[in-house]
Chain A
């Protein structure tokens, strides 16, 4: 398991509803999220959408400009992780237990990639998530994701 999220609790206002836009300013602008420059796009009760702009140094093949698939994994990891806190209404420390991606088609050269993470079920310790990535039209997805996050105690948070 990867404790892969910044310590957000100190940065999130107390007694305030979870704000994905605010949290992305930390997760999406710091470390690996900052390298990929993840942007907040929107959210609902149980979903969060983020986006990454195409960049030459993020491609898998210089001839085609197709985006590296791992960029989509990182995007879906952050979007699904944030969808749990959004559904919960507050931050809780958690790590990714597993994540699966089905690649329906490549993300083409120059295209911005969007990742929508959805938390479809929550238990005391597990967040069940799914999601999809697209290039601007959610009806034309390029990848589907599913996974689970496990809540961790203060010891590793």
Chain B
């Protein structure tokens, strides 16, 4: 369901002030500052905002992996499963995606979100994406 542009973050991510803050092991790290608009219970992140950050990180990781292969294919999200492990508090939150397998027709991706300590994730997600090769004119 995500048809994001390979270049730049989508409007949804920009609306929540997400930005690419780093790049580790071939995948962009996305940061999201704490603000009222990502808050659930007072002082804590909303699960949906954490999920959004995980999805943006996953999509960014696939686009980078596709570009590394010289591919200009697009992607379409099939599903996502999110595990919430810790409450996200009023700090900066980071997420990075890892492309576990990039095939010709689909990609298996995992993403994790953390705050102060990367070894203590606040949430993790598993996603499946369809790889869509660009249509060639006249074919």
Contacts and interface: CB of A to CB of B under 8 A. Distances in A.
Interface of A: 1-7, 30-36, 56-64, 66, 68-75, 77-78, 95-103, 105-107, 143, 156
A74 B1 contact: no
Nearest to B40: A4
Contacts of A64: 3
Contacts of A105: 1
B37 A31 contact: yes
B122 interface: yes
Interface string B17-46: 000000000000000000011111110111
Main secondary structure of the interface of A (DSSP, over half): mixed
A148 to B, nearest CB: 10
A68 B52 contact: yes
B97 interface: no
A58 B55 contact: no
Contact of A74 (B42, B52, B78, B84): B52
Contacts of A78: 48
Interface of B: 1-5, 10-16, 36-42, 44-52, 55-56, 77-88, 122-123
The listed residue with most B CB atoms (<10 A of its CB), out of A68, A102, A103, is A68
B49 to A, nearest CB: 5
A35 B39 CA distance: 9
A63 B2 CA distance: 12
A98 B84 contact: yes
B11 A3 contact: no
A102 B130 CA distance: 13
Contacts of A69: 1-2, 55, 77, 80
Given A2-B44, A2-B122, A3-B87, A100 B81 contact: yes
B11 A107 contact: no
B131 to A, nearest CB: 15
25 contacts: A3-B44, A6-B40, A32-B39, A32-B48, A57-B14, A57-B15, A58-B15, A61-B3, A62-B5, A62-B10, A63-B5, A64-B3, A68-B11, A69-B2, A70-B56, A74-B46, A74-B52, A96-B84, A98-B81, A99-B47, A101-B79, A105-B1, A106-B1, A107-B1, A143-B1
Given A32-B37, A74-B52, A1 B85 contact: yes
A56 B85 contact: no
A59 B45 CA distance: 21
Nearest to A104: B1
Contact of B88 (A2, A77, A103): A2
Contacts of A32: 37-40, 46, 48-49
